[in-house]
Amino acid sequence: MARMLTSLLAVFALASCANDPLPLEQRFQRALDRGLRGHPGVGVSAAVIIPGEPLWTGTSGLSHDNTPVSPDMLFAIGSITKNMVAALALRLAGEGVLSLEDSLAEWLPSFPNIDGAVTIRQLLNHTSGIYQYFSDQAIWDEIERDPSRRWSHEEVLAYVHDPYFRPGEGFRYSNTNYTLLGMIIEKATESGVAAALRERFWGPLGLSNMYFAVEERIPDTIAHVWGSRGHRGRTEDLTFAPRMAHDSIVHPSGGVFSTAEDLARWADALFHGRAINQLQLDQMLDFVPISRRDGIQSQGYGLGIQHYLSDWVRGVDVYGHGGGSIGTVAYMLYLPEHGVSIAAMLNSFDGRTLHRIVRELAKLAAEHAREA
């Protein structure tokens, strides 16, 4: 009975799509416009790539004042950065620069509360058990006290407490894993993470609208961002507020800025084998099972990739990653059954609103792909 009901719902969904007289591009745009209803003063930028069809980009809402969001505006993509850094680690492993089975002790000095036996693979899939530094309120207090301060990796690691579990004995999402990974990449390449990403990925793939905070100057084409200082008070424009402390702390785990188009192009290149080879991609897609109690909307986590919950978009399998930063939230999604890549970003830290928007984009893209 349940299977029959699911099939009927799928038929009704397809019929609804088929009866919609609007072209797909206009339905995508309607999803953005409807998604922002009741949220005046903020804006969204999105891009969708469906195989064999032109790339679609769309925007809705405002950057600031009466200035609308435009497709060339940059957004901080937060933890989606982990996906790129993970791909970089796999690329370096393929070049023989490092191995995913290397231990921390082989690359870095010892640090309090960090087990030197943790492997690079365990950093990548968050099975290291290493404490999440953002769980210590003291680091947030320091950011608020001096938001212009530039932090070193070593200063960040001073906020790491006892591990959650022994390496390999569980899953716990932790930015600290990617701080350590960034330190290894810097040592292995004798360059910054930004230079390694640009040399191996962004340059060859023509992604000219991606930048890495702290290591590179971010152009002025940034969408204005909105939020409240210190999680209290009224919503205000935070675009010109000092952010070096935040950006240097999250650096290898959340430092990338991008347009929606370039982020969708990155997903398309990654999942279609133009960034790393299929063997490396298969490793990224080796998911560690996780549950809802782990605090992220996924059934599994690979190497810098989330496998979203089965009900995240009804009837659609979804890979990708989400991210948040000061006044922004973003999603990068890939629908493996249809080869569809989606990116969307909002200039307010409002994950629920963007989730509704990106879920509707994914549903429309999947319905269209089934009909094609």
pLDDT at residue number 19:
62
Instruction: Say if CB 22 and CB 30 are below 8 A apart.
Output: yes
Which candidate, 156, 77, 170, 159, places its Cα nearest to that of 118? Answer: 170
Q: Sign (positive/negative) of CA torsion 304, 340, 41, 36?
A: negative
Residue partners of 290: CB distance under 8 A and separation at least 6: 171, 296, 298, 299, 300, 301
Residue partners of 320: CB distance under 8 A and separation at least 6: 83, 267, 305, 306, 308, 331, 332, 333, 334, 342
Q: What is the pLDDT of residues 171-195, one digit of tens each?
A: 999 999 999 999 999 999 999 999 9
**Interatomic CA distance for residues 240 and 88, integer angstroms:** 31
Q: Where are the domains of the chain?
A: 25-371
Examine the pLDDT at 300 and tell me if it is beyond 90: yes
Q: What is the pLDDT of residues 253-263, one digit of tens each?
A: 999 999 999 99
Instruction: Say if CB 355 and CB 309 are below 8 A apart.
Output: no
**Interatomic CA distance for residues 56 and 26, integer angstroms:** 10
**Interatomic CA distance for residues 81 and 92, integer angstroms:** 17
Which candidate, 38, 37, 35, places its Cα nearest to that of 46? Answer: 35
Angle between helices 351-371 and 2-19 in degrees, nearest 10:
80
pLDDT at residue number 3:
43
Query: How confident is residue 2, by pLDDT bands cut at 50, 70 and 90?
Result: very low
pLDDT at residue number 30:
98
pLDDT at residue number 270:
98
Instruction: Say if CB 195 and CB 202 are below 8 A apart.
Output: no
Cα of first residue to Cα of last residue in the chain, in angstroms, is 29
Q: Find where tokens 């960040």 sit.
A: 156
- Amino acid identity for residue 113 in this structure: N
Across the beta sheet with 75-76, the strand order is 75-76, 256-258, 210-212
Instruction: Say if CB 167 and CB 127 are below 8 A apart.
Output: yes
Q: What is the pLDDT of residues 305-344, one digit of tens each?
A: 999 998 888 889 999 999 999 999 999 999 999 999 999 9
Examine the pLDDT at 17 and tell me if it is beyond 80: no
Instruction: Say if CB 74 and CB 88 are below 8 A apart.
Output: no
Residue partners of 182: CB distance under 8 A and separation at least 6: 85, 153, 193, 251, 252, 253
Instruction: Return the SS3 of 316.
Output: coil
Q: What is the DSSP letter of 261?
A: H
Q: What is the pLDDT of residues 205-241, one digit of tens each?
A: 999 999 999 999 999 999 999 987 755 567 899 999 9
Pick the CATH number of 25-371 from 2.70.240.10, 3.40.50.720, 3.30.1300.10, 3.40.710.10: 3.40.710.10
**Interatomic CA distance for residues 322 and 195, integer angstroms:** 23
Whole-model pTM: value is 0.93
Instruction: Say if CB 234 and CB 242 are below 8 A apart.
Output: no
pLDDT at residue number 16:
44
Angle between helices 137-145 and 244-254 in degrees, nearest 10:
130
Angle CA 301–86–48, to nearest 5: 75
